Amino acid sequence: MKSEPYKISIDDLAAMPAKTTAWFGIRNYQSRNFMRNQMSSGDRVFFYHSCCAQPGIVGIAEVTQPAYPDATQFDAKSRYYDLKATPQNPRWFNIEITFIKKTRLVTIKELRQYPELIRMRVLQQGNRLSITPVDPAEWKFITGIL
């Protein structure tokens, strides 16, 4: 799960009440589908800083609330408002994540050097998705180098 550190950093997450936040504002259908259809309570995620001097994995969080409608889509004052969304037919969802631990920074440059991660979605050319699946073998490899 990618976040710009100026919006929410791993340190921000660790400082929040109950170390938990709703992951809202996703407005890409593919990222929404990954989050809504594939993420469950108890799943672990890599927290990844993007759009910064050193993009990369900076921590681990856990999904503590599965997907539910993102309330910002119904708020006309929100930048995430969606005129086509209704409470009966929501278009956008969020989950809640809880801080588990901060890790050393594993930069995108470092991740790209490992042949074991050659197929990792976040490393694919042109990937701009904020949420991408991680294969169990990739998870095991990365947690082994943290």
Domains of the chain (ranges; CATH) run 2-127 (3.10.590.10)
pLDDT bucket at 142, cuts 50 / 70 / 90:
very high
Per-residue pLDDT tens for 7-30? 999 999 999 999 999 999 999 999
- Quick one: three-class SS letters along the chain? CEECCCCCCHHHHHHCHHHEEEECCCCCHHHHHHHHHHCCCCCEEEEEECCCCCCEEEEEEEEEEEEEECHHHHCCCCCCCCCCCCCCCCCCEEEEEEEEEEEEEEEHHHHHCCHHHCCCHHHCCCCCCCCCCCCHHHHHHHHHHC
Question: In the predicted model, what is the mean pLDDT of residues 64-80?
Answer: 97
Per-residue pLDDT tens for 103-114? 999 999 999 999
- Check: pTM over 0.85? Answer yes or no: yes
Q: What is the pLDDT of residue 17?
A: 94
> Residue 128: pLDDT above 90?
no
Report the percentage of the chain scoring pLDDT > 70: 100
